[in-house]
Amino acid sequence: MRASFLGSGVLSALLIPACAASSASAAVYELSHSHGANDVSASFKASQLYFADKLDLGDFFVVDESDIETLNKLHHKEIESSRPKLLIELRGVDTPSDFFESQGLAPTFSVKDHVKAFADNTVHKLASMLASNSDNSGAAHLTKEIKAVAPKESISELKESFHQFEDTMVAAWKQFTGKSDHHKRDQRLLDLGLQDSGLKLVNDKNFINDLASLMNLKACDVAEKSVLFVKSMSLLSIGRKIGYDTKTYKLSKKALGDVLLELQKKFDVTIIAVGLDSVLHEDQQAALEKRNAELESLFTTFDKRTTSGACFSDEEACNKATSNCSSHGSCKESKKGCWQCACKATYDKEKSKTTKWSGFDCGKKDISATAHLLLWTSVGLILSLAAGVRLLTSIGNDPLPGVLEAATQVKKTSQ
């Protein structure tokens, strides 16, 4: 048993006073552990103590004798991992204990009481405590949903990985679900452990932001002693808008689960799946609506760029948002403080064909020259045909020359 008493003041700051048990449920999954039958049900306090121990914060807590047996069972299941830790809280899960049912994974344990207090405080408080517990660690918000606590020498690299993320997030999603470049799109799906193209039907901006953030994490270099805390509200957002029994909700839930399983190759992933409860989520509604409005604004700005020309604040933002101009050009400063893609033609030696590119990210084939040639050739042919018909018509209406007129009259008289 690793948790011991150091100060009840810290404990009382973390634990909310006893309140009526919530009707919601919560299940905890640790993807690095073996998964047997879910036979452990932990109290609110035992659950928080277990997470504190997992983050080496056990010395700040006091252990109740009633929780010792449960904690011993949980620690018996625990497996040490040298990978950086990823702790993600998923709100709005319809059946927490079955979140990974299709993959045959059972939760490590479930939280049996005071789920609202557990969900509202655990991730946020532990992140704050961990950040202030070490002089060698730094803390940073990578996005509004992700907080990182990492060695000071590596925290700046993590921040850099999410620099200009809001600019790149929308572009990445458009490429991820777009109609063009099917080969690259399908490869992105496979790289993330996703194979269902139906994701393009999901337009909830919270979900897009969450999934794009997790995609970005997979590409980051993360130090071994780093801990990332993620709070995801996207399933709650989708469920409230269109229902928890819809195909879109089920698809979104599966996609999040698939990406988290893929991230397990890089992180020691722990998931807190929080169930449905009107009281539990009511106080989150205003924050959820505000965040949705912010993300909606990002997509609107992106759409304006695609129609009126993208203008980025610097070269780095331009490169990230356009994937280096889709490798069909380079970012240039068109005017002061405005960086845009300057597209270049590419030549295919095998087909002996030159392709021109256009669009704010040089991602579209420029067929304007061919289109103009076809258009004006068609116009020319139509005009020529019209002129020919008009000429023939006018000739048919003109009187015959005198000689022919006379010959025609003689022939008619003889008859």
Other C-beta atoms lying within 10 Å of the C-beta of residue 112: 18
**Which pLDDT belongs to residue 6?**
36
Reduce the DSSP state of residue 80 to 3 states and report it: coil
**Which pLDDT belongs to residue 90?**
93
Q: For residues 355, 174, 306 and 359, what is the CA-based torsion angle, rounded to 10 degrees?
A: -10
The DSSP secondary structure of 315-344, one letter per residue, reads HHHHHHHHHHHHTSEEEEEEETTEEEEEE-
pTM above 0.75, yes or no: no
Q: How far is CA 34 from CA 97, 161, 347, in A?
A: 16, 32, 53
Query: Mean pLDDT, consecutive 10-residue segments, the chain of 415 residues?
Result: 39 39 72 66 87 84 80 73 90 91 86 83 84 83 91 87 77 63 58 60 84 86 91 90 90 89 91 80 77 82 63 79 82 83 84 81 71 71 80 67 58 49
Distance, in Å, from the CA atom of 169 to the CA atom of 185, rounded to the nearest integer, reads 15
